[in-house]
Structure 1
Amino acid sequence: MAGTKVAVDESTTQMFTALALGKAEVLNEASDLRGMLRESSGLGPRTFAMVKIAALIAIDAPPASYMWQVSEALDAGVTPRDILGILAAVAPQVGMPRVLAAAPEIMVALDLALPDEMDI
């Protein structure tokens, strides 16, 4: 199957592009599901958002995931200082390489300038 080209309609291509760019408006359906999952978790919106960021760090999520989830977390009342606390809290479980990989992605999601010393 590798190398097989499949036909993809324009609408599907646009959806994939929007998802790749972290455009949350295309995720209304997923957002509704997210709300149901949050309610059934028994966690408040703020705690739920913090757990989601911790999960992204643990799985070494792609940058677009941080853009969306950090925005959602801020809307739920999570502060940038809280997110720094999440990094510290998960470090022993996920390892420093995951934390170090997540930090610049979170900085970008928070619209912070990356250090000049970073080679990107």
Structure 2
Amino acid sequence: MSDAATDTPVLDLLAAMTADSLEAAAADLDPATLLLVRLAALVAVDAPPFSYAANLSVAGDLGLEADQVRGVLAAVAPIVGTARVVSATTSIAAALAVAIEIAELEQDDEADE
């Protein structure tokens, strides 16, 4: 028998860690600031596109603008270096490309129904 909670143990762990982090930070940071800080951390660790996709999706839901994302990239550039910022920009573009492709596929599926 398959249990949904055990089918994705790593994703479940990451979701729990993220929820705990958000809860702990919520007392001191508003949601938008928290997402901008998380974005800066993603740049610092050279995160893969999926990490940006997950966080930017939430950021978009909170109403964060592209200018704010660019502001974070500019703010951390002197600390993390050009290579990390270029890598982050590439990962963000890849994440957005996947999100656009998924949205287009969903539209096609809805049109077919």
TM-score (norm 2): 0.69
Q: 1:16 to 1:66 in 2, by over 3 A?
A: farther
5+ residue gaps, structure 2, are 101-113
Deviation for aligned residue 1:37: 1.9
Equivalent-residue separation in structure 1 for 2:66 and 2:7 (angstroms): 32
Contact kept? 1:71, 1:109, Cα under 8 Å: no
Q: Indicate how the Cα distance of structure 1 residues 79 and 11 shifts in structure 2: closer, same or farther if over 3 A, else same.
A: same
CA distance in 1, matches of 2:4, 2:21: 24
Q: Which of 1, 23, 28 matches 1:36?
A: 23
Q: Does 1:15 align with 2:1?
A: no
Cα root mean square deviation, aligned: 2.9
Match of 2:84 in 1: 98
Question: What is the number of residues matched between the two proteins?
Answer: 97
Deviations 1:48-92 (A, max 9, x none): 100000000001112221110111111122111211111111100
Question: Within 2, Cα distance between the matches of 1:109 and 1:83?
Answer: 14
Once the two structures are TM-superposed, the CA of residue 45 in structure 1 deviates from its matched residue by 0.6
| Structure with greater proportional helix content | 2
What is the percentage of aligned positions where both structures have the same residue?
36
Aligned to 2:29, what secondary structure does the other structure show? coil
- TM-fit CA distance, 1:32: 3.2
User: Given residue 23 of structure 2, which amino acid in structure 1 is its aligned partner?
Assistant: M
CA contact (8 A) 1:50 1:83 kept: yes
**Structure with bigger RCO (C-alpha 8 Å, 6+ apart):** 2
Code of the residue aligned with 2:90 in structure 1: it is P
Q: Does 1:67 align with 2:60?
A: no
TM-score, normalised with respect to structure 1: 0.66
- Relative distance call for 1:13 and 1:98 in structure 2 (3 A) is farther
Distance 1:76 1:33 in 2: 19
Distance of aligned partners of 1:66 and 1:43 in 2 relative to their CA distance in 1, 3 Å threshold: same
The letter for the 2-side match of 1:39 is A
Q: CA deviation at 1:30?
A: 3.8
Choose from 44, 48, 71 the match for 1:58.
Answer: 44
